[in-house]
Chains A and B, each alone.
Chain A
Amino acid sequence: MTKKIGMYICTGCGIGDVLKVDDMVAVVEDEGTTCKTHECLCSDAGVDFLKAEVAEGTNFLGIAACSRRVNFDIFKFENTMVDRINLREGVVWSHSREKYPVPTQEQIDSDDDSFDEIQMLAEDYLRMGMVKLEKIEIPEGYKTESLSKKILVLGGGVTGISSALDAAAAGYDVTIVEKEDAIGGYAAKLRKQMPVVEPFDALVNPVIDEKIKAVEEASNITVKTGTVVARIAGQPGEFTVTFKKPGETVPFDCPLPVPEEQKVDADGNELDVEAVQEIYNQINDGREDLLSLDPDGELYGAVILAAGWRPADLDGEEYAHLGAGDADVISNAQFEEIAAKGKITRPSDGKEAKNVVFVQSPGKGDDDSDFGYAGSVTSMVSLKQAKYVREDYEDGKAYVFYQHMRTPGLQEYFYKGIQQDNGIFLSKGDVVGVTKNGSEFTVDAENTLLGEKLQVKADLVVLAGGMVPATVDDPILNLAYRQGPGFRDNDIYDGYADSNFICFPYETQRTGIYAAGCVRRSMTMEESIEDATGAALKAIQCIESVDRGVAVHPRSGDMTYPDFFFQRCTQCKRCTEECPFGALDDDEKGTPKPNPARCRRCGTCMGACPERIVGFADYTIDSIGSMIKSVWVPSEDDYYEPPMRIIALVCENDAYPALDIAAMNRLEFSADVRFIPVRCLGSVNVIWIKDALSTGVDGIMLLGCNHGDDYQCHFVKGSEIAEVRTRKMGETLQSMALEPERVAMHQVAIDEYDKLPEIVNTFADTVTELGPNPFKGF
């Protein structure tokens, strides 16, 4: 297919009023490219006009109008590539004529410097758009060699079963893997449970029995009990899974990476590649190679991780003041076990436990923390279990001392319903002591709703232990990934399986693996069932996306994928190690093996590669590099005092929309700055910065998401990696006799648009103070 580029300038929305459109057309036509104008490209007439252009063979369209963030659905044409040149938000809305007036004829005629800064900005953006279109190609999508649409569910508890039922109902074949001998999980071991349907005001019988029955009746659900996963290899759409019995050792057990502490010698010096490889071989002796696929393995398209939780361990000094260690001071899980068997009795002597104190929080004084891994569910479990006491004994009394009574959503009705029981007594308070006198406990509480100090008698004390996600103890997944069998850096989520809780529920750091239920956070059954549906839908979305050869998430529908030019690869492994999603494996020599279906198309590998051999069809080192180089950098040959030129590489997920929002609010930016959207700051290759500086650009800024424990990066690590790279860049600059301040990175959240002008303009001022780039004009 021959490439035919057309540039189309919209004069609506104030563009035509501010800019000299004829001059802009001339800029494009000077390059030999067609350029046409229209008064309103997004109108029906405008779209018809563009369609006619496409019909006449134009297949690469540069639409110089509004931001790419708007009207993207309107400017969409079959088999074409559309690039958007942001003249509206990026130029006319964010730069006013009050600040940047058109030079008068008198000024132009005089010898003094006079130039129209807004016009220069618009023309630069046009040049950048044009060169980009020249450099990019229409993507074709990535197809896996084989495709399985089967879904593997790890965990046969209420979450796994619900996921399986939902996926099966949508027409997908599902396999449930459960390590116990029967499915049902914890949900099958309860006396009663919290409500899952309206009116949400009382305990209900466990809902799991019906679900188990439904699983048995479903023709497209296979259940493997007494089974765990030995290895999951491959990528979404074609995961090869080896099963085994719990505790068994098989050749296809997942290979383990060399722990960081073993990669250094006794003096802390890094071991060489061969030595590390040796250790790796030792660790994985008897295991099949990472890249070899189990010929007897089963193929699955996606995996739902619903491995659940275990009760937290409550013994220890920390809880000594609560009487932990005494036979009659038990956890909520132990209490449930007793309740499921029959009447509530004391473990020590089997006597009836009519007075039961439920302790929600070990904290006291300023510390109001709950037990680790607790949550709203443990609040509600205490209410549930308090009700058991009342069910069993007419004169029973159940006391609940809490720091937080969490009953979100409609579960408020449950709280209210349980409260109605005359024998259930609730109060906020610090439990400061549990002492045993004979067979009876005295529980001392302070700062209660009934007064400073309070004392109650109890036969049994129940501690509201949390729900520790299974992923704390075991990777469960056993992924044959170079980065390891589980989730990386999972400790920042206290071991919960998650990548970004608010923005992308169910998503994990591993594409095609979707977490649901208590591996994500402590949940009630109602929440788990809902979560299960979400994960099932994500798994289906993943399989269908892989089938269409597009990215699943968060660049849903993106047909591009990273392409590696291996002849130039130096086996440095940076891409393999830096990929936030473990998409790359490597062979013994260290040559990367991409797994495009695992990839999220962030381009972190592209930013990492020192050889610059990674690129996407529409996003390459060259395309962005050429855009940077196409910016006209005026020198002293042009003007007595040439204006500064600053390139800003902007994360397109949060920072770029924030710039648009700022423009919509008519906040002004320095006209010296040219913004270039990038997929993620992780994709920024330092060569772009070097190229920019060598062409005389005076400063480069990177705008990306917040990173750290509360990161907002869509690709988990991108902005963090960019920060490190920028810091290293500073050292390089010094060696070039340039000020390190010329390169800066800033973190912005999408809602911080109001801070952006200050960040950008302050950087522009800093660069102005540093003076022009000494390389300018060379």
Chain B
Amino acid sequence: MKYLERRVIHGILLLIGVSVLCFLFSDLAPGSFFDEMKLNPQISSETVAALRSQYGLDKPLPVRYARWVESVLGGEWGYSFAYNSSVRSLLVVRARNTLLLTTLATLFSWLVAVPLGVWISNHPGKWYDRLSMGGTSLLLSVPELVLVFGLLYFAIRTHALPVGGMTSVGFDQLGLWGKTIDLVTHLIVPVTTLVLASLPVLVRHVRASMVEVLKLPFIQAARGHGIGPARLLFRYALPAAGNPLISLFGLSVAGLLSGSLLVEVITGWPGIGPLLLEASMSRDLYVVVGAVMSSTLFMVFGSLLADVMLVVVDPRIRVE
């Protein structure tokens, strides 16, 4: 229990550190959201100054930080100048969309990577092992950008899939089944891109960990007892090969909120990615800080989850 408490405290300290750095860096960047208004001859400099003062941007950095902390504790997470609403209400909707995308992508990549990696690890050097290794090398070398453009090109040429966005026009008029189908068809391009991008790393990790474990004498001993291949691979070898994979799983959970930025922007998926990009471009300070903080929160949660899973799965960690 002490171990877990220590990890939670580490996580909180990390969150505080990231928020401080976020504020420091945003302060170092020149200009603010209201600077562009100065170029507009219809808005007087007094109005701009009044707006700056209204939103507290004329206050020194520590005061702004303290106000932001207060707002976080009050559940608002700061205020968006561009959207004229609290950052939390913006982030909640966007984070939900991003999570829908990335959770599905992570789920599918692991569902493919584990059985594939386990299977080929049991037959190293066979043609399907070489094919998988070649295929994953190729996928690893193709940038995410090319993958998503390739899939979008396919969607445009075949008209089989929608080209962008999350829903079609007239989504609200559809029934429950129609809505589901519409959402699923919109999900295919971004989810497939994310799966193809993360699959090679996962397959290679699963295979490498399994190949090492399958050489160990306890696996030989189990073979000598006449164990079936499925039981050998999934009951013996996979748990023993699990530790690095659990850490990797923690990382993939950590990346749930931040890993799909590029794909979201290109496919027009209304997630955190496009919001963060727009907010950075327009210097909507608190939205940027909010998006970075929620990604950090996931990072902390992901590594905490991996640590807890490791303790549960591997008795040795408790002993040590």
Is chain B found bound to chain A in the same assembly?
Answer: no
A-side residues, CB < 8 A to B, are none
